[in-house]
Amino acid sequence: MTGWSGAGRYAPSPSGDLHIGNLRTALLAWCFARASGRRFVVRVEDLDRARDAGSASRQLEDLARLGIDWDGAPVLQSELGEAHEAAIAALRDAGLVYECTCTRADILAAPSAPHAPPGAYPGTCRDRSGAVRERERERIAPRRPALRLRVPAGTVAPRFSDALLGEVAGDIDDFVLRRGDGTVAYNLAVVVDDASMGVDQIVRGDDLAPSTPRHILLQRLLGLPSPPEIAYAHVPLVLGPTGSRLAKRDGAVTLADLRADGIDAGAVLAVLARSLGLAAPGERVSAAELVGRFDPAALPRSPWTWPGAERLAAP
């Protein structure tokens, strides 16, 4: 599209209606993109069929209710399988893929490598001979082996500069590219999909910051854009009343719930804007107004606690 440079995105999983924390992240991703002159695209991450609750259309409706718009039609991740398989094939051709028959319990029970982070893959299947791999396939049948990335020897985990977290370091192990049930893993799909959609600004929850070094490594191995061509901003999560990560069990936390309590989308947008320092107490704003006020340097760096529907409804 003429006049645009790059794209930001929001990529929800259709596992249920968006809650306040999801909507706050979506609003931030949209503001980051629009304030920097980027396109804004939406991708429905529907690869995991077991978690698909059929909520994609409701999620899009809720974004629109807040005034969040997007460029082009939303993309279904499940329609991008050819690109995912091509990426796996390229890594396999480079000798960077191997089969793994380990379960989660196997990994947790295995001795960890020195200085490896908790839960890191210990490399159990990495150097098995062809005969051993064949016996393992027979042992776990009808389950199939997963595919893991063989991280090249001597690889140093990439560091990256984050607009909200500053300089971020992480760890890398031989992570899964495709699960045993045939589902392409998030870490591979997100890298391939963002590149194919021209995304060069990634705004998401800070729980995903530790995975980003994996993504940067894949970007480099696949010859895709990586930092500094790709900009990251990992958003502090929204907390529930108990101080833990906000979840649907915390009560009225979706737009549908709040609407049933007489709280409209404008009131929700106002409280989200206040939580980001973009509106004054009691001020009603539009999403478009927030773009003109948006300053990433002024955004809060700490988690925000959802005040609850009762306080939001109070005069």
Could you list the residues known to form a binding site for ATP, using ranges. Answer: 248
Q: Which residue numbers belong to the known binding site for Zn(2+)?
A: 100, 102, 121, 125
Known binding residues for L-glutamate: 9-13, 45, 186, 204
Which amino acids are annotated as binding site, given as ranges?
A: 9-13, 45, 100, 102, 121, 125, 186, 204, 248
Q: Tokens standing for 223? A: 């010859």
Cα separation, 120 vs 16, whole angstroms: 29
Please, what's the largest Cα pairwise distance for the chain? Answer: 71
Task: List Cβ neighbours of 126 (8 Å cut-off, separation of 6 or more).
Answer: 98, 148, 150, 174
User: What values do phi and psi take at 97, rounded to 5?
Assistant: -130, 140
Q: Which residue type sits at 234? A: H
Q: How many CB atoms lie within 10 A of CB 131?
A: 8
Q: What share of the chain is helix, strand, coil (3-state, %, to 5)?
A: 40, 15, 45
Which residue(s) pair with 245 in the sheet?
A: 239
